[in-house]
Amino acid sequence: MKRQTLMRVMISAFSLMASVSVVAQESKVEIVPAADIVSSYVWRGMYQTGFSIQPALTMTYGGFSLGAWGSTDLSNAGDETRSKEFDLTVGYGTSGFGISVTDYWWSGEGARYGRYATDHYFEGTVSYDFGEKCPLNLAWHTMFAGGDKDEDGDRQYSSYAELGTHFNLMGVEISPGIGISPWKGLYSDGFGLNEISVKATKQIKISDSFSLPLYAKVIAAPEHDNVFLVLGATL
């Protein structure tokens, strides 16, 4: 019942946001390419791959966005079945509130992309950023279609909740966060504390016109009894 109620809320919110017509004179299409290089890829407290490159391409107009994000495992470059992920996200945000739908695909190199019912995972997200005066951000993610099923083939509605904040300390951006799974699903066998993390980001000046964001992230994953230290750079 709780899962059905949450799904109704997310669907209603998405319908409301999609019905909003945003016409601003200053609005323009922006296309932003980016990439991260990470020592290891850890997602929601779960280890995915080793040394990886993670490119992204985002197009925005007004509050709307369409983005593609990928991750390729470079630690097994010669493996024809190495890990590869490709995600697509469409979203809308206004006044700190955001809503989006993501199609996750992480079947790996050489796998067929078109198996939407089993190899894709579709997730709805609702988020809110309180702004700089109260630097807190909340997000709720629920999978609603695709391969997110239990051993009996029933929909799990795997969900994940996040709380984060950020502040500056001696020129370093510090971003603590916590993530939980409320019930049995992809992330845990029940209620689980999946991730407690602290990320520190420092702008490394390369020239007068270019700085490289370098970051280190300490991750504790109590649900999986594991810890990680990830080093990354954003290009």
* Contact indicator for 3, 157 with CB cutoff of 8 Å: yes
Q: What's the whole-number average pLDDT of the chain? A: 90
Query: Does residue 27 belong to any structural domain of this protein?
Result: no
Domain containing residue 193: 32-234
The residue count of the chain comes to 235
Structure token pair of residue 196: 């407690």
Query: Does residue 120 belong to any structural domain of this protein?
Result: yes
Query: Does residue 226 belong to any structural domain of this protein?
Result: yes
Query: Does residue 224 belong to any structural domain of this protein?
Result: yes
| pLDDT tens readout for residues 86-139 | 999 999 999 999 999 999 999 998 899 999 999 999 999 999 999 999 999 999
- The whole-number pLDDT of residue 9 equals 47
Neighbours of 151 (CB within 10 A): 6
The reported pTM is 0.86
The contacts of residue 190 (CB under 8 Å, 6+ apart) are 183, 184
Number of domains in the chain: 1
* Contact indicator for 175, 154 with CB cutoff of 8 Å: no
Query: Does residue 21 belong to any structural domain of this protein?
Result: no
| pLDDT tens readout for residues 9-42 | 455 555 544 444 444 445 799 999 999 999 999 9
CATH number, position 109: 2.40.160.40
Rounded distance, CA 221 to CA 230, Å? 13
| pLDDT tens readout for residues 97-110 | 999 999 999 999 88
